Amino acid sequence: AGAMKINQDVVLRGKKVTLVPYTAAHVPRYHEWMQSEELQRLTASEPLSLEQEYEMQRSWRDDTDKCTFIVLDSERWPGQEEEESMVGDVNLFLTNAEDPTVGEIEIMIADPSCRGRGFGKEATLLMMAYGVRKLGITKFEAKIGQENEASICMFKKLHFKEVAVNSIFQEVMLRLDVSDQERQWLLEQTNHVEEKSYAELKQPAGVLDT
């Protein structure tokens, strides 16, 4: 697999949220979320069948220009099942063929009880720091629906600037150029984060994969 798949065994553990790779085990819950019309609207996506959702997960896993993490509530996991601890997802797309250092970032906190609590902000910071440290990202972009004030506001708090409005898609485009100063800030904001191995965390203590 290509460079993007370096996250398939990566867990990023923050204070509020923990990011884990998106696996087939997460699909049923994810599929359940995406039945919500509100989430379909906010993410500009069509409802898929469960089978299509599994296919999508496989294609994302194998796709070298996408980096996807499921967002878990750090208070709930480990301890509870991952499916019970899932609160959203965060994606980084490297779709700019001319400039591989541009990453488009997407965050979704699907669980309404977890919104407005800083989960999205920390998940986005974790993903950005990972993108800068491991994937060579120097510019971030985010496209947000115009009516999604909370998300626009959050990205602005993370130093993104509004650069364009697409009235046809009713989207706002935000951008952040990662200068040395921004890089320093990002790493300071995420210096509490621990990087772990997903396979090891999922193993009961003392049990080795045979």
Name the average pLDDT for the chain: 89
Percent of the chain with pLDDT over 70: 93
Q: Is residue 206 part of a domain?
A: no
Report the distance separating Cα 6 and Cα 142, nearest Å. Answer: 22
pLDDT in tens, 5-28: 667 889 999 999 999 999 999 998
pLDDT of residue 204: 58
pLDDT of residue 42: 73
**Which structural domain range is residue 11 located in?**
3-194
| Total number of domains constituting the chain | 1
Residues of the chain with pLDDT under 70: 1-6, 203-210
Q: Is residue 209 part of a domain?
A: no
Cα 30 to its chain centre, rounded Å, is 13
20 near 13, Cβ under 8 Å?
A: no
Contacts of 155 (CB under 8 A, 6+ apart): 124, 142, 144, 174
Q: Is residue 205 part of a domain?
A: no
* Residue tagged 């364009």 (tokens): 164
CATH number, residue 37:
3.40.630.30
Contacts of 41 (CB under 8 A, 6+ apart): 145
Report the distance separating Cα 168 and Cα 190, nearest Å. Answer: 36
Q: Is residue 200 part of a domain?
A: no
pTM of the model: 0.88
Q: Is residue 97 part of a domain?
A: yes
